[in-house]
Structure 1
Amino acid sequence: MKQNAYLNNFLFLRMRHYLLLVAVATVATVSTAPADEAEDDRQTTMMKKDLVETTTQMMKKSLEQQRQKTSSVNDGGRLLSLPNAESCKNRPKHFELNGHWYFLSSNTTEHKDAKNDWLDSRNLCRKYCMDAVSIETEEENEIVFNLVKKERLPYIWTSGRLCNFKGCEDREDLRPLEVLGWFWSASGVKVSPTNKKPEGWENQPWSQTGHFKRPQPDNAEFEINETTEACLAVLNNVYKDGIAWHDIGCYHTKAVLCEDNDQLLKYIAATNRGIIL
């Protein structure tokens, strides 16, 4: 936020300086000979070029500083949160599937307007002994897709993550990474190979198009701003492709579908004996 404020102030001062110079040039043009107009135009063009170049350099520097502060898992050095016993006891319960409760953040009073990046979305869920949804069956996938359609949501976060951080480098079983390197971080279960339908499924959940009209995952944003698309979201017809899975930069903000997490429920049960979940 401070970097953005600094950049905005810098751009404001540069633009004010530029407008002042333009104003001076305009006054001078009224009182000088037409021969000076070409020189004025040349100086104005140079000032515009200088402003664009300076702004570009500042944006690159700001992005590089932000990357240096970001951890190897693209979470800004933040950690996963532990659950809260009282929140777990009173967690929202919108619907149930196979013994697990789910809730959609945008359908709760407390989090109705909340839009968080991937890690903060997981932590929102974890407060309630839940985590971002892991879509491990086609039945679950259909429920998620229908929910997104019913609620007219443009997108939601899942717990899907690309294993492109420390500890994944020497995993031959994850190569090629874009095909075999995805997993559900909430459960630790690997996502099926991305280049074919999951075994036993009738449909391929990954979209067949995106920003560059390529099948997902395609890490398209890396070609735009060098940000790895390492997190998995469900998008609702954003690319005229219906509701489907997409790889997304983890810093984007979205609502999240939370699902009971067995490990967190057991943790609360063990550390807060007597609590009824």
Structure 2
Amino acid sequence: MTTWEEALTSWGAVYAALFLPAALLLANFVLGKCFVSEALCRAQHASRSVHSWSRILGRAHIAVVTLSFAWQYYAVMFVARTKTGGNSDPRACNALFFAWDLAGHLPYLRGVQWSLLLQCCTSDAAYLVLFGVFAFFYASCVFSVPQVTTCGAGAEEDDATFYCRRCGTYVHQMDHHCYFIGNCVGERNRRLFVCCLVAGVANLSYLLYNYALWAMMHSDVITHIGAVLAIGFDVYLAGLLAFQILLLRRGWTTREFLRSRQRDREPLMRSVHRLCFS
């Protein structure tokens, strides 16, 4: 068998055939004009052109977070839990494997291993619930619509409506533009955003509590890097959550906090101290 024949019939070629379309779809989502980008722009009352740096950056963040969800699921359900006292069989309680097995036994579904889907230990069930809740709230924030219909100069005169230059639309009681969700945070989706932060902190904290020691001591370099990134991201989300809770307690938005700091010309630490303790 020639080298080309070996390459084309290898597992690497199979993986490339599986993941290349997904990579192209993500690239089209970030840089092109795919139907998801166009639908988001239409729903959020924005121009349907995605060729602006802020919008490309926001879409890129969404793509990276989506890939991190996929990596997290693979690292936990296929690798980590089998080496830390969880299910020794990576196929057990694994919805992704079950869907693959189901597709492989179509159309008669003979030989499908139904029992594997129900072989869940407590740690697996808890992780899957936290992972699913975080993914649900994140997707809800991405597809939420805090924007209002562009209404010309009259919108600028409304004290409760602000123009976001990154989105190119007006947002009612705008808090800030968040690249993490590629969307603005305003009155309509602020509680949803806080729920997303709570779910993210819970998911990553549980992940690190169960698997951080194994990831740092017994895994490969890529998993080491992933664990460090998970720690940093968990700290970032926890800080952002605490900041949002303090703002909600005082009835402020991020814009109002930054404007008051700029108006009073306070140092950052003094402003944070006033926000926490005054």
TM-score where L is the length of structure 2 = 0.23
**Higher fraction of helix:** 2
Q: Which has the higher contact order (CA 8 A, sep 6+)?
A: 1
> Greater strand share, 1 or 2?
1
- State the TM-score, normalized to the length of structure 1: 0.23
* Bigger Cα Rg: 1
